[in-house]
């Protein structure tokens, strides 16, 4: 069986001569009559539910990939849709004015009512199409196989296909090359494998941070903008700067470093200077601290000057400890006729003698964790919520 990847067919060409048969609920033809959209053996059009058909159009408007479409080449210039008939029929029906989608102002718009640039965007969108050629039994057998055991393309693999060109070729040579010896160093900071395009996706994610697009779209936007570039200088330089920066600050490679948002951290902290020996000592201490629950947070905590304790997810007092301390504290307070919140008891207002329920109080470290205080019974004190909050902020 022969397969050919086509990335040159636009929606405009695909939907030329599109017909929809309402009584049979089938999209009939496309590609100026060369394409049979729903051959006999295919099920009927089921996307006309105001959700899935609308989602297809909204994906196109947002520039999201629509996934792969498979054509079966039955004769010279004759094709049948093997997979993708629901998507194609949705597009054809939208262009024919058979349903509407909501625009950014939540107004229902038919194709004709869309702004001109949106119409053009839809018509010029190119789809990812595999043309398969071979014996029918062979093709159907193969199609079953890919659908059952096949590994679907991941997002970056799809993007590489969608934005194929000199930029992708060069970028893959560098980032998706399993023989590249640099990848051993990259693996310390980036999660995944070269094969499945994880390094490339990470490099693109970092360099595209400055794009204005929403997080999800920025890689697509970057690839689209650089699609015809003959070099990957910016991508490569930026990626190396981030890696060099991290490895220059943290002497030891810890497994929790893998997959952290180094691109964001680089942009936030690249202007600060760090003493790598002191940093190494801090990492060791925090790793040895049994109260630090999030080791992943250690690196950002240090980069930020050891201020944002919440990054470390410090172990909190358990319920049994809280209850024991609460009971002891409350009994002692009752004897003296003062509030069971020691800070309220020292005050001068009506709360001086207020008795709080357990639910109205929170546990606090007598000696703060940051000053070496342990999360144990003897270092636990119950405070009313107001006092606990104000103490926590200091
Ligand atoms: Zn209080």
CB 164 within 8 A of CB 7: yes
Q: How many whole angstroms from 382 Cα to the centroid of ligand 1?
A: 9
Q: How many whole angstroms from 383 Cα to the centroid of ligand 1?
A: 6
Nearest to 224 by CA among 238, 239, 209, 208: 208
Lowest mean pLDDT among 42-46, 267-271, 284-288, 296-300: 42-46
How many whole angstroms separate alpha carbon 214 and alpha carbon 222? 12
Q: How many whole angstroms from 385 Cα to the centroid of ligand 1?
A: 7
CB 68 within 8 A of CB 129: yes
DSSP state for residue 10 in the 8-state scheme: B
Q: How many whole angstroms from 369 Cα to the centroid of ligand 1?
A: 20
Q: How many whole angstroms from 348 Cα to the centroid of ligand 1?
A: 11
For the segment 305-317, the average pLDDT, to the nearest whole number, is 89
Q: How many whole angstroms from 380 Cα to the centroid of ligand 1?
A: 15
How many whole angstroms separate alpha carbon 153 and alpha carbon 165? 18
How many whole angstroms separate alpha carbon 265 and alpha carbon 283? 17
Q: Please tell me the pTM assigned to this model.
A: 0.58
Q: How many whole angstroms from 362 Cα to the centroid of ligand 1?
A: 10
Q: In the structure encoding, which two tokens stand for residue 225, read together?
A: 């903008």
How many whole angstroms separate alpha carbon 133 and alpha carbon 153? 21
Q: How many whole angstroms from 38 Cα to the centroid of ligand 1?
A: 72
Q: How many whole angstroms from 357 Cα to the centroid of ligand 1?
A: 12
Q: How many whole angstroms from 325 Cα to the centroid of ligand 1?
A: 15
How many whole angstroms separate alpha carbon 390 and alpha carbon 394? 7
Q: How confident is the model at residue 315 (pLDDT cuts 50, 70, 90)?
A: confident
Residue 40 pLDDT exceeds 60: no
Distance of CA 267 to the CA centre of its chain: 19
Nearest to 242 by CA among 286, 205, 293: 205
Helix (H, G, I), strand (E, B) or coil at 276: helix
- Please give the pLDDT value at position 149: 45
Helix (H, G, I), strand (E, B) or coil at 346: coil
Q: How many whole angstroms from 172 Cα to the centroid of ligand 1?
A: 61
3-state helix, strand, coil in the chain (%, to 5): 50, 10, 35
CB 199 within 8 A of CB 192: yes
- In tens, the pLDDT along 110-120 reads 999 999 999 99
């Amino acid at each position: 069986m022969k397969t050919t990847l086509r990335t040159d067919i636009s929606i405009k060409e695909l939907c030329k001569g599109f017909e929809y048969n309402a009584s049979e609920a089938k999209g009939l033809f496309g590609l100026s009559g060369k394409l049979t959209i729903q051959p006999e053996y295919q099920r009927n059009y089921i996307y006309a539910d105001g959700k899935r058909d609308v989602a297809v159009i909204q994906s196109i408007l947002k520039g999201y990939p629509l996934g792969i479409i498979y054509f079966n080449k039955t004769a010279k210039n004759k094709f049948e849709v093997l997979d993708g008939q629901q998507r194609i029929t949705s597009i054809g029906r939208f262009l024919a004015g058979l349903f509407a989608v909501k625009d950014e102002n939540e107004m229902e718009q038919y194709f004709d009512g869309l702004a001109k640039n949106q119409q053009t965007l839809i018509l010029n969108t190119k789809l990812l199409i595999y043309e398969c050629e071979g014996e029918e039994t062979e093709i159907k057998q193969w199609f079953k196989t890919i659908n059952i055991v096949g590994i679907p393309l991941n997002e970056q693999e799809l993007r590489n296909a969608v934005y194929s060109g000199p930029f992708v070729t060069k970028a893959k040579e560098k980032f998706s090359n399993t023989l590249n010896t640099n990848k051993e160093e990259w693996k310390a900071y980036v999660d995944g494998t070269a094969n499945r395009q994880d390094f490339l996706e990470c490099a693109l994610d970092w360099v595209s941070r400055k794009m204005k697009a929403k997080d999800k779209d920025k890689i697509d936007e970057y690839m689209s903008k650089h699609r015809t570039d003959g070099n990957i200088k910016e991508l490569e330089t930026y990626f190396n700067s981030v890696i060099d920066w991290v490895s220059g600050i943290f002497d030891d490679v810890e497994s929790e470093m893998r997959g952290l948002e180094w691109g964001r951290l680089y942009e936030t902290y690249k202007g600060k200077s760090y003493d790598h020996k002191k940093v190494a000592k801090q990492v060791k201490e925090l790793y040895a601290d049994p109260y630090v629950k999030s080791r992943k947070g250690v690196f950002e905590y240090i980069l930020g000057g050891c201020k944002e304790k919440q990054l470390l997810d410090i172990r909190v007092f358990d319920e049994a400890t809280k209850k024991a301390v609460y009971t002891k504290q409350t009994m002692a307070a009752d004897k003296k006729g003062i509030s069971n919140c020691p800070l309220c008891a020292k005050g001068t207002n009506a709360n001086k003698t207020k008795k709080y329920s357990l639910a109205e109080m929170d546990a606090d470290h007598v000696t703060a964790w940051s000053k070496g205080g342990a999360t144990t019974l003897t270092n636990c004190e119950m405070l009313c919520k107001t006092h606990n909050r104000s103490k926590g902020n200091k």
